[in-house]
Amino acid sequence: MALDRIALENFRNHARSELRETRGFNLLFGENGAGKTNVLEAISLLAPGRGLRRAALDQMVGPAGAGFAIGASLREQGHESARIGTFVEGERPGRRQVRVNGAEASAASLGEWVAMSWLIPSMDGLFMDSAGARRRFIDRLALAIEPGHARNVSRYEAALRERNKLLEKGADTTWLDAIEAQAAEHGEQVAVTRSALVTTLSDELTALPDEPFARPLLTYRAGGPLERPALREEFARQRPRDRAAGRALTGPHRDELEVVMAGSGQPAASCSTGEQKAMLIAIILAHSALAAAGRPSVLLLDEVAAHLDPVRRSALFDRLRQGRAQVWLTGTERAPFEEITEEAAVWRVSGGSLEKL
């Protein structure tokens, strides 16, 4: 199953673009600024979340104003099985709406139809970034497998904000007990989902050969107790400390993803840029394999091939062939993709326009 008949209307620099007769490999090439990544971003919005750029909705609206629209067919064995779409109306620019087979649906429900993964250049510094960036990374991966994860994260964070306000005001313990119960309930679900994902990813990565991509070893470090009763007790015990700090110092919002390179045991942040990129690719490929189980899976790779040597590039294509995900790749020229050009659907992108080759 794959995405086909993908339509963009007034999305960034695409006034009206359509991609038909897609394949397992799909290649978009053109000059920088032509609109290649905009297509990937539009596709990423056919899944729960804020898309691969995490941009505000009004930043995605094209020059015509009055909102944007993105739609696609889910194709199975050559036949359309569903039509999914998302749009923003001009009079409601702050709200993204979703339709599935013409009926109104929630953004979270998109995760039941398609699992989306991506690797974009801005992710290259993940191992050097903050713990918060790595938590968002894990949450994004978890969302592709467990669509309800985003709701649990949102409710946990909302409960923590309310708890901070109550602590600041010196509220009665009854109110604190109630809000901490909510935080512990959703916090447990968040932590368990993250921990299970890291464990499953680690198993998938362990089965892979070390070459040609550096194999990462993942460890989930919980920021507090995982089980609800213990987490609730910890919140209550730490009220004086948290009141003085102005924030909760224990809980899933303090989780950390630790990554080291197999063999050397060197922390990913201390590895070379090339090694970090190779480990990140390995994680994304392992996740894509997991996400493809039971649902259509789409993998978006922005400017990946150009940064790999020929051996690793060929190995990447081989791994992608073996997977079940529909793959979308971008590049400024066709040369790095010659190995897959004959089996790919190819478009030239120029000034927000698409030409099928």
C-alpha Rg value of the chain to the nearest Å: 22
Buried b (16+ CB within 10 A) or exposed e, 88-111: beeeebeebbbebeeeebebbebb
CA contacts within 13 A on the Cβ side of 335: 7
User: 36 a known binding residue?
Assistant: yes
Question: Closest Cα partner for 33 from 355, 349, 306, 301?
Answer: 349
* Amino acid in position 29: F
The burial of 51, by beta-carbon neighbours within 10 Å (0-12 exposed, 13-18 middle, 19 or more buried), is given as buried
Amino acid residing at 182: Q
37 annotated as belonging to a binding site for a ligand: yes
Reduced to 3 states (helix: H, G, I; strand: E, B; else coil), residue 329 is strand
On whether 51 is known to bind a ligand per the annotation, the reply is no
d(CA 241, CA 54): 33
- Please tell me whether 211 is known to bind a ligand: no
Beta partners for residue 311, in sequence order = none
- The 8-class DSSP code of residue 128 comes to G
* 30 belongs to an annotated ligand binding site: yes
85 is in an annotated binding site: no
Per DSSP bridges, beta strands 256-261 and 115-119 are unpaired
The three-state secondary structure class of 298 is: strand
3-class DSSP assignment, residue 84? strand
Task: Tell me whether residue 323 is annotated as binding.
Answer: no
56 labelled ligand-binding = no
d(CA 160, CA 240): 15
Residue 227 CB neighbours (<10 A):
12
User: Residue type for 206, please?
Assistant: T
Binding-site annotation: residue ranges: 30-37
Q: Residues comprising the binding site for ATP?
A: 30-37
